[in-house]
Structure 1
Amino acid sequence: MTDLRIYINSLNPISEIGWEALYPIFSEKTLLKGEYFIKENQVATQIGFLQEGIIRAFYRSREGVDYNKHFFVSPCFIGGYASLITGAPNQINQQALSDCKILTANFSSFTDLYRDHPDIERVARKLAEIFFVQKEQREIEIVLLDADRRYSLFQKQYPQLEQQIPQYHIASYLGITPTQLSRIRRKRTGR
């Protein structure tokens, strides 16, 4: 819970009374590599705090092709946010790319705390703002930047991932084929 406290307090400090209310709603969970935190067509009920590990968020086309949308690297919050807010079925899969340690909580238990703990509600608002900015930046990258520039941004945003996940996941995230990614890498190394 120490990582959760540090992360949340970096967004907005929470009072001791708030922490006493927040701690009991979270429980520890292990997600093994390949397991899902949430799948498409499920209605989300849980939020998670990723303490250790890597999770990818992705869409799957009707033809069965995966399109990586986002990588979650600890520490951060995970979950089917749109589904949590609307109650509609989730559209994005979240799958562990490594073994993960997660703290999970029922989203309604979390939101029930808002009334008595405005500091917790502020944390939720700041998280929503972060998610919005990340989504907008990602959309701009995909539309306006070429593959080489998107790759540079990927390396800055996720410096540790390149050696930890398969190349095809990175290529999917960049919106290119693994062969195109290999060409970009070769061009950069001068080979």
Structure 2
Amino acid sequence: MPDLFDQFDAFLGGWCEFPSDELAKTRQVFRPVSVPRGGFLTRAGDRTDRVAFIGRGLVRLYYTGPDGVERAHGFRAENQLVCAYSAALRGESADVSIQALEPCSLLVASRAAFEQLRAGHQCWRELTRRLTEELYVRQERRQRELLLDDAATRYLSFVTEHADLARRLTQRQIASYVGVTPVALSRIRTRLISVNDTAAVRS
């Protein structure tokens, strides 16, 4: 396994050019943290002030409705940054929970320390700009799918475009992201298998 900081350097360099002295600052600002399966990076209601880079592992971001039902907002895995972003921007308590679905090896920095980096070299502001743009595109697509696509289409899109991720998730977790109950997802999967089998026979 590569060193977490070397892995983080490679991640940063994939977004924009980072001078070596700026990469060296990550060793001062970020610290290694391990989170066990089922542990939380953030719970809804927490004051959130941390930014985490995922070196190894998988987390889910989810909301809990008034009925107590958990609804998946998204998932983050290796070589991604994760935090309760909107809450951090507003300086408010998080409305989203971030939980480890697998044992996670992270590099974690306080939001204040990360902002000090951004106030320095332009590379950090460029990184934030590009990541924010990607997050916006991802969120816009997610909203469009929920508004316009039926559940079967949302499921097929997810397992096709995120096949590696889908293999690491339970059907209950996928159902929560698609926006259906596990029972409804089971029916969708059965129907899709039946359609595929029929098409195979016809061909």
TM-score, normalised on structure 1? 0.95
Structure 2 residue corresponding to 1:158, chosen from 143, 162, 176: 162
Structure 1 position 173 matched with structure 2 position 177: yes
Moved over 3 A (4+): none
Root mean square deviation of aligned Cα: 1.3
Match of 1:5 in 2: 9
The one-character-per-residue Cα deviations of 1:3-50 (angstroms, maximum 9, x if unpaired) are: 211111111121112112233111111111111100111111100001
Match of 2:201 in 1: none
Match of 1:82 in 2: 86
8 Å contact 1:32–1:100 — kept in the other structure? yes
Separation in structure 2 between the aligned mates of residue 157 and residue 107 of structure 1, nearest angstrom: 32
8 Å contact 2:158–2:166 — kept in the other structure? no
**Structure 1 residue matching 2:17: 3-state secondary structure:** coil
State how many pairs are aligned. Answer: 191
Structure 1 residue corresponding to 2:136, chosen from 128, 132, 136: 132
The one-character-per-residue Cα deviations of 1:64-90 (angstroms, maximum 9, x if unpaired) are: 110001011212001111121111111
8 Å contact 1:57–1:95 — kept in the other structure? yes
Once the two structures are overlaid, the 10-residue window that deviates more, 130-139 or 151-160, is: 151-160
Match of 1:122 in 2: 126
Match of 2:200 in 1: none
Structure 1 position 48 matched with structure 2 position 52: yes
- Which runs of no fewer than 5 residues in structure 2 stay unpaired? 198-203
Structure 1 residue corresponding to 2:20, chosen from 16, 19, 23: 16
